[in-house]
A = this chain, B = another copy of it.
Amino acid sequence: MTRETPWYEQVTTPALLRHARTTYGTAMRRALAAAGYDDIPKNGLYLIGGMAYQAQDMPLGNLVKDLRITKQAAGQLVDTLVTRGYLQRAVDEQDRRKLTVTLTARGRAAAVVQTEARKKIDAELLARARPNEVNITRRTLAALVEIGRQREADDA
């Protein structure tokens, strides 16, 4: 009995990464839209989801690094999210040049929906992969991220 080559061996790793992320992305977008949050711009998911998971407030400068966009684009992104009621801007009292960003009530509500959608995918994944395999995957992805950071630091 000859073993069939699995489809994913015909696909590059970056392509796998792309499509894997799409699974999360569409699931989160669908859930958000169903709950009435259908006006979140592209990178808004990253911002809202990240803030709910990690930090209560985030300096705008972090966005620039994380999303690898210009500060103008970051400002514009925050602008629309403020306009649409998801975010609040505040001046950092320690350094009055800095702006920090916090979720509004609406923003937190959206974050909850988004987080649940994400966890749903995480749960579905555990039906197809062992917990240990998921851990290894996350560690390996982290290694890839570190390679990117390293390279960036090297040529700077």
Residues of A within 8 A of B (CB): 6-28, 45-46, 49-50, 53-54, 66, 68, 118, 121-122, 124-125, 128-129, 133-134, 136-148, 151-152
Contacts and interface: CB of A to CB of B under 8 A. Distances in A.
A141 to B, nearest CB: 4
Interface of A is mostly: helix
Contacts of A12: 49-50, 53, 118
Contact of A141 (B122, B137, B151): B137
Contact of A140 (B21, B45, B46, B129): B129
A68 B22 CA distance: 9
A65 B106 CA distance: 33
B54 A11 contact: yes
B46 A15 contact: yes
